[in-house]
C-alpha cells in the first residue's frame, strides 16, 4: 500500500513540474496536459516496455491519469501562489526524482534483474520523463547538462540496496532512499556543484 501511495505521489509531483514548464512556455490547456502527462509517466512507460511489462502501468490503473489531471488543475488554479515558478519546478521535480528512483528499482527487483540493472531502471524511471518534457519544450534536458541529476538517482539506487543488505524495514528503506536523492539535489543546487563538461577546442 505504501509503495502504491509513493508511486501516485511521484506521479502527481512530476505532473506539476510538467505543468510549470508548459506554463512558462505559454502553452494552451491541451499542451499543458500533454507535457504534464509525458513528464509523469514517460520514464515509467519506457521502463515497463524494456522489462516487458505490458500494458504499461498507467494503462491498467486510471488512478495515475486521475492524479495527473488533478495535478494539472491544482497547478493551474494555484499558479499565482506558485509565482516563483523556478523554485516550485525544482521542488516538485526533486520530489518526483526521489520517489521514482525507488519505483524503478523495485520494478527491477520484481523482474528478478541484477542490482546494477535495477539501479539503471530506477535512474531511467526518475529522469526520462523530464528528458521527454524538456525535448518537447525545446530545452536541453537537465540530465545532459552539468547539473548533477541522474547521478543523484544512481546514488539513491545504490543506497536502496545497501540498506536492503543491512536488513532495514522496507518503509525505512523507501524513506532513506528518497531522502538521499532529494538531499543530493538540494545540496548540489544550493552550492552549485556541477560535473565537468567535456568539449572539443
Q: Is 57 contained in some domain?
A: yes
Q: What grid cell was written down for 151?
A: 547521478
Assign residue 192 a region (left: φ > 0; alpha: ψ between -120 and 50; beta: otherwise): left
User: Which residue in 112, 113, 115, 132 sits closest to 44, CA to CA?
Assistant: 132
Q: Is 70 contained in some domain?
A: yes
Q: Is 200 contained in some domain?
A: no
So what's the pLDDT on residue 84? 64
User: Each residue of 136-188: pLDDT tens digit?
Assistant: 999 989 888 767 899 999 999 999 999 999 999 998 999 999 999 999 999 99
Q: How many domains does the chain have?
A: 1
> Rounded to two decimals, what is the model's pTM?
0.89
What distance in Å separates the CA atoms of residue 54 and residue 48, rounded to the nearest whole number? Answer: 7
Q: Give the H or E element holding residue 73.
A: helix 63-77
So what's the pLDDT on residue 83? 59
User: Which residue in 33, 37, 127, 142 sits closest to 86, CA to CA?
Assistant: 142
Q: Is 201 contained in some domain?
A: no
Domain housing 171: 2-190
Q: Is 148 contained in some domain?
A: yes
So what's the pLDDT on residue 86? 64
Residues of the chain whose pLDDT is less than 50?
none
Q: Is 195 contained in some domain?
A: no
Amino acid at each position: 500500500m505504501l509503495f502504491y501511495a509513493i508511486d501516485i505521489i511521484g506521479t502527481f509531483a512530476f505532473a506539476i513540474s510538467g505543468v510549470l514548464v508548459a506554463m512558462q512556455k505559454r502553452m494552451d490547456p491541451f499542451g499543458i496536459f500533454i507535457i504534464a502527462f509525458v513528464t509523469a509517466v514517460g520514464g515509467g512507460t519506457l521502463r515497463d516496455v524494456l522489462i516487458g511489462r505490458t500494458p504499461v502501468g498507467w494503462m491498467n490503473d486510471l488512478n495515475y491519469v486521475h492524479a495527473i489531471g488533478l495535478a494539472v488543475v491544482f497547478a493551474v488554479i494555484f499558479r499565482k501562489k506558485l509565482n516563483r515558478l523556478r523554485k516550485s519546478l525544482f521542488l516538485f521535480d526533486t520530489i518526483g526524482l526521489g520517489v521514482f528512483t525507488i519505483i524503478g528499482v523495485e520494478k527491477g527487483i520484481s523482474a528478478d534483474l541484477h542490482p546494477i540493472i535495477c539501479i539503471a531502471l530506477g535512474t531511467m524511471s526518475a529522469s526520462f520523463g523530464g528528458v521527454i518534457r524538456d525535448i518537447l519544450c525545446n530545452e536541453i534536458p537537465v540530465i545532459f547538462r552539468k547539473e548533477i541529476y541522474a547521478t543523484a538517482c544512481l546514488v539513491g539506487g545504490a543506497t536502496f540496496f545497501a540498506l536492503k543488505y543491512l536488513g532495514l524495514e522496507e518503509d525505512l528503506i523507501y524513506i532513506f532512499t528518497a531522502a538521499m536523492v532529494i538531499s543530493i539535489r538540494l545540496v548540489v543546487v544550493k552550492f552549485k556543484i556541477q560535473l565537468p563538461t567535456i568539449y572539443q577546442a
